[in-house]
Each structure stands twice: as C-alpha cells, then as structure tokens.
Chains A and B, each alone.
Chain A
Amino acid sequence: MFTPHTQKDVEVMLKSLGIEKIEDLFSVIPEKFRYPKLNLPEQLTEMEAAADLESIASANGSTKELLSFLGAGAYDHYIPAAVDNLLQRGEWYTAYTPYQPEVSQGTLQAIFEFQSLICQLTGMAVCNASHYDAATAAAEAAILADSHFRGKRKKFLVSRAVNPQYRAVMRTYFRPHDDIQILGDDEETGIGTNMAKLIELIDKDTALVLVQYPDFFGRIVDYKPLIEAAHAHGALVAVATNPTALALLTPPGEIGADIVIGEGQPLGIPLSFGGPYLGYFAVTEDLLRKISGRLVGQTTDMAGNLAYVLTLTAREQHIRRGKATSNICSNQGLMTLAATIYMTVMGKEGFKEVANLCYQKAHFAADQLSQVDGYQLAFADTPFFHEFVIKTERPVDEVLEWLRDHDILGGYDLGQDYPELENHLMLAVTEKISREDIEYLTAVLEEEYHD
C-alpha cells in the first residue's frame, strides 16, 4: 500500500491519538470481519499482466479488422493523425474547464473556436461549451423548454424517428415529473416523413417539438411545415443533427429551429465502444440566457490584447442556486478539443468532401444492395444521407451472423427498437468504405441467398 507518510509521521499521529498501532483504529470492527482473506489469484508481474490483458482485449472485434456498416448514431470516420497528435499534448490534459478558467487561455480559446464552428455548421447564434453526448443534449433541450415556459406547458413532442437512445435518456431525466408528457413517438403516430400526425398533436400546451435531421433512419425530411406549425402555437423546436450531414444540408437555423443539438462523435472522435462522446447544443439569440452549461466569450484585456473569458453560466447552480435549471456545470473538454482540431484540419472544403463521399458511397451501396435477391431498399422515395434501411427476407440476426462470419459488421437491426421494422437492417457508409468493400458486402450477401 502506498501512503505518503513516513514512519515518523505515523508514530507522531499514533501518539497524539493515544494508540500504539494503526490496527487499533479498527478495533470497533468485529475481529472476524477485520482482515478477511480475499479469494484472489497469485500476483502477476507487469509483463505477465500486460500479456494477460492483451489476450483478453484481443477477443474484442473492432473496425480496424472488421468491415463495418454499423452506424445508428456513432460513425466510423477517418481521423487525421494530427488530431491525436495535438490532442495528446500535455498542456491540454484536463477534461475540466478549470475553476479559475481565465488562467487557461488555451483551453478557453479552443472552446470558443468550437462554439464558433458549431454555430456556423448549425446556422445558430449561440453554442455552449458542450454536453456529454447527443442524448443528454436532447434532454437538456427539453429542460430548456420546460423552464422557458416556466413549467406551464406540459407536452413534449418527440418524433419516433429520433434516435431511441435520445428518447430514453429524455424520459429518464423527466421521470420524477409526473405532470410532464413526452409523446408523439408511439407506433401509431409512426415514422412517416410528412409529419402530419405529429403536427396534429401540437397545441397550446406544447413546450417542445424534437425531430432529427437526418432522422435516425438517415432520411432527409423537410421540417419547415412542422416548424411553422409549432411556432404558430408558440412552441419551441429542437433539431437533433449529424454534424457531417450539416456540411451538405441547409442548416436547421435557416429553417427556423430554436435549438439545435447533435452528436459530435463523427468529428474526429473514435467509436471507443460507445464513449466518451460529445454533445453540442446551440440556440437562437433569444434563448441565450436559457442555455445550460457554459459559454466562452472573446474580449480584450486592459492592455488591449485578445483574451478569452467564461462569459456566461446563466443556468448553473453556483449562479442560480435553487433556481438552477440544469446541473450541468462541466463540459466534454477533451472531446470538444478533438472536434475543434478535426474541423480545423479538414477545413470547410475538406469537411464538405467527407460528407459528399459519404453521401455518394452510401447511395452506391444502397443501389448495389437493392439489386441482390431478397434485399430491398426501404423508404425508397425519401432522400437519405449516409445511412439507409434495407428490408430483408431472412431474419436480420441471421443475416448479421452470416456477415460476421465474413468479417463484416453488417449494420443495425431495427427490429430491436421498432417492432414495425422487423426484418429491417440499417447500414451506414462513411468515406472509409471503398467500392471494393461494397462489392464484397454484396457478394457475401448474394452467396448467402443462394446457399
């Protein structure tokens, strides 16, 4: 056991306590419980332990050796070497915004640039320093809407085509609030793209409407009519986004979104078995004071030099005490930095190129797959970005198992979240997938069908 005390320190402390040995401190604990013999294996040397752990880790499959078409909210993009190289500099090594933030000008500048880049991407006026992931950002959007209407509007409408995990986290956040209804994502309201059924549910008691863009199934839907209907009833609209798609799509800010959230993982953050990821959260200027978390601003110091400050933490506990509407006092510092470096390294054109490659390759893949017997493109009339749904004749788990035997992660089985989409497989295609990869996938599926 490592303790920073010298033998002499220990003796002084024991003497002042009036006891002879450290064990005397535990004399109130019955003797038979005091030093239990633990059933542990023999200790290993560092070399043995490293070999042991490596052998356990090698049982994991990863996108390094598998061909992956798995997306559903997390995407396997190429990460330029510069991202990790800059990220791993010791100067950055704290996940926290420091408690005396202005001392860390570099950290603040990185956050400021992140906020600015996300504002450009989403078409919004204000972006905060980030959240844990898109799911918690979605829940914060609902909290913002609740506090915006001072708890007087009770309905939170969520499209069924929003990532099921975001919806689940929202429900967890609001579980203690019996009076709040989260609705609109039932099977009857459905996953249709004309939004008419969701629009029907909007009324004067609606605080927020949440949709996803592209939606969970990768589809690009025109939300203008929905946004207009929500605003006609005074409700706020939040749009969950994929940042890569925003390189090509009209930013939600330009079609009237009040809140834009999203998953920052595609911006230079590895899949890493599900985290840590990065949620971004942007709003219109009207909602500036309602934003959770913290905002970094740019200013000048007394000598006129450019400087960065923690401008606003309007909703946090140390400012608002009991009136705080969010307990988010932190941000995903390191992930924010990764995203900032990624976006900067890619540049405006490079980032668009990535998005365009994803789009083109996904459409090529969808086209190829729908020519295989027993596979059919679902939602064929709706435009999509880099993810699409294939209806399969065989059960999806059988298809996935067959593909896995050929070192392919085939995609996401939608039946596990959507009973109405049994036998529907969702595939994501990023710029990392080559034409040969797509042809291999098609060939393996053709082989299976003729088996």
Chain B
Amino acid sequence: MKYPQELRYLKTDEWVKVEDGIAIIGITDYAQDALSDVVYVEFEIDPDDEVSAGDSIGTIESVKAAAEVHFPVSGTVLEVNEEVVDAPEMLNKEPYAGGWLVKLQVSDESELDDLMDAAAYEAYCQDR
C-alpha cells in the first residue's frame, strides 16, 4: 500500500496535492484496494462550479460497492478528469497519477491544516 509523502489525506480516503494554489484530488491506494475493480465513475460537478469542503465530487462504483467522493477543500472546479469516465480502471492502476478526479482552484489553503499527513493516514489505515 502506498502513502506518498507529498499528499494530504482524509478519513474518507481522498487525497489532495496542492501546488501554486491548485489542488489535485483523487482516491487513495487503500480506497481503490478496498473497493476492488472500479467499473464506473460519475461526476456530480462541472468546471466553474463553486464548491465547499465536504461537498460531493461524485460516485465511484466498483464490483463491490458504490462510494461517494468528497472535496477535501473549498474552491472553484478547474477541470474534471473525463478520462476516468471512459477508463474507470485507471483508479485501480494509478490512484495517485492517471486516476486523479478533479483539479480545483483552492479558496482557503488553511483548510489543508485539518487534513492528515502521510504518516497519520497510514497509521489510521493500519488501525482499521
């Protein structure tokens, strides 16, 4: 299981990476492993939507379950990764690369302080 150092994590198994005020968001290696084969990704947001931390990004369906994914931070949606709609298996293959979900212009970077770092998330996952 991979827990890249440069990312921040949520208890609901989303990761976020912020560079120059732009956040990239996806689901973690732990999440894709728990879901097993992802078969469908449905976004509930479009570019330019204003969103708050906790709002729903959409739903990911695997052969086992349907899971909702949330925004870790607030901001404006810049881009939605349409490629994962056509190739949902990207979430299993590359959860931290090609399987990213949305890019967001972050409105308040202090919200990142509430999130876990890699060590805390790893400890949290091992406890589950």
Which residues in A have some Cβ–Cβ distance to B below 8 Å? 150, 289, 314, 319-320, 323
- On chain B, the number of residues with a Cβ less than 8 Å from chain A's Cβ atoms is 7
Considering the complex, give the chain B residue whose CB is closest to the CB of A318. B66
A289 to B60, CA, bound (A): 12
CB–CB A323/B68 < 8 A: yes
A45 to B40, CA, bound (A): 61
CB–CB B42/A289 < 8 A: yes
A320 to B68, CA, bound (A): 9
A393 to chain B, nearest CB (A): 58
CB–CB B68/A314 < 8 A: no
B59 in the interface (beta carbon within 8 A): yes
12 pairs across A/B with beta carbons < 8 Å? A150-B44, A289-B40, A289-B42, A314-B40, A314-B61, A319-B61, A319-B66, A320-B59, A320-B66, A323-B59, A323-B66, A323-B68
B32 to chain A, nearest CB (A): 19
Considering the complex, give the chain A residue whose CB is closest to the CB of B40. A289
Label chain B's interface by main secondary structure: strand
A320 to B59, CA, bound (A): 9
B residues near A314, Cβ cutoff 8 Å: 40, 61
B89 to chain A, nearest CB (A): 16
A361 to B19, CA, bound (A): 74
A residues near B59, Cβ cutoff 8 Å: 320, 323
A311 to chain B, nearest CB (A): 11
A residues near B61, Cβ cutoff 8 Å: 314, 319
Label chain A's interface by main secondary structure: helix
List the 5 closest pairs (A to B, CB-CB), nearest first: A319-B66, A289-B40, A320-B66, A150-B44, A323-B59
Interface residue ranges of B58-79 to A (CB < 8 Å)? 59, 61, 66, 68
B75 to chain A, nearest CB (A): 19
B66 to chain A, nearest CB (A): 5
Fill in one digit per residue for B43-54: 1 if any A CB lies within 8 Å of its CB, else 0: 010000000000
A residues near B44, Cβ cutoff 8 Å: 150
A319 to B60, CA, bound (A): 11
A323 to B69, CA, bound (A): 12
B residues near A323, Cβ cutoff 8 Å: 59, 66, 68
B15 to chain A, nearest CB (A): 22
A323 to B40, CA, bound (A): 15
B residues near A150, Cβ cutoff 8 Å: 44
For the complex with contacts A314-B61, A320-B66, 10 further pairs of A-B residues with Cβ separation under 8 Å are: A150-B44, A289-B40, A289-B42, A314-B40, A319-B61, A319-B66, A320-B59, A323-B59, A323-B66, A323-B68
A401 to chain B, nearest CB (A): 56
Considering the complex, give the chain A residue whose CB is closest to the CB of B68. A323
A144 to chain B, nearest CB (A): 13
A348 to chain B, nearest CB (A): 34
Considering the complex, give the chain B residue whose CB is closest to the CB of A290. B42
A residues near B42, Cβ cutoff 8 Å: 289
B residues near A320, Cβ cutoff 8 Å: 59, 66
Considering the complex, give the chain A residue whose CB is closest to the CB of B65. A319
A150 to chain B, nearest CB (A): 6
Considering the complex, give the chain B residue whose CB is closest to the CB of A151. B44
Considering the complex, give the chain B residue whose CB is closest to the CB of A288. B40
Considering the complex, give the chain B residue whose CB is closest to the CB of A150. B44
A97 to B61, CA, bound (A): 23
A residues near B66, Cβ cutoff 8 Å: 319-320, 323
A289 to B40, CA, bound (A): 8
B residues near A289, Cβ cutoff 8 Å: 40, 42
A323 to chain B, nearest CB (A): 6
A394 to B42, CA, bound (A): 58
